[in-house]
Amino acid sequence: MNSRTVWLCCGVVRAEMEELLRRGLIDGELIFLDSMLHMDPPQLEAKLTETLKQNRAQPGFLVLVYGDCSAHMLDLVRSFHVGRVAVINCAQLLLGRDRYRRLMHEEAFLVLPEWARRWEHIMKSELGLTKEVAQGLMGENRGVLVYLDTGLSPVPELHLAAFSAYTGLPWRIEMVTLDCMLAALLEAQTGAKKCAENKD
């Protein structure tokens, strides 16, 4: 059986996936979809389905690098016999379960590097939140903005300061290695191989 792995990933972790591939810690082909598809889960699901159909005839294994980002994610996994990282979202993929839970208990709003520079478009254009509404919502549900710094790009301090001013929340940096992400990816790759074997 061909051992080639295709990683179908959210663009929010592009830099991290490319770095793991560059280091030789994972191998195979990387396919990325725009992270903004998260703002429209049905559209995301349609795009994932289309991409899976395009790649299912290819030899090897396919792994979804997505959390619970659409209502039928598990159905896609079963229907196409692919692997998937066992996380609820990409922040948990980077942090691991325990550290993610601690930050959720702290009522942190987690900011990934790829989204940090797009916060204004997301808040204003995608979500339609004025500064007043954003501060009301975030103030009720969150206590701090936490930027997850993977060390692969400079911390966008001006963007984070502006995001902080818009939401009324303080911000801080949380350093993150790629260790938890790598472990989840390798586990999902093993699951993808088992799925392919069962399919055959």
What integer pLDDT is reported at residue 1 of this predicted model? 45
Place of tokens 């699901």: 45
Residue 200 has pLDDT above 80, yes or no: no
Place of tokens 């940090």: 116
What integer pLDDT is reported at residue 126 of this predicted model? 87
Q: Which domains does the chain have, with CATH numbers?
A: 5-90+178-199 (3.40.50), 97-175 (no CATH)
Give the 3-state DSSP-derived string for 69-92, with helices as H, strands as E and coil as C.
CCCCHHHHHHHHCCEECCCCCHHH
CA pair distance 91, 187, nearest whole angstrom? 17
CA pair distance 15, 116, nearest whole angstrom? 13
The DSSP code for 37 is G
What integer pLDDT is reported at residue 55 of this predicted model? 85
pLDDT tens for residues 68-110?
988 888 888 888 889 999 999 999 999 999 999 999 999 999 9
CA pair distance 159, 192, nearest whole angstrom? 38
pLDDT tens for residues 121-168?
999 988 899 999 999 988 888 999 999 999 999 999 999 999 999 999
CA pair distance 41, 140, nearest whole angstrom? 25
pLDDT tens for residues 176-189?
999 999 999 999 99
| Cα 188 from chain centre | 14
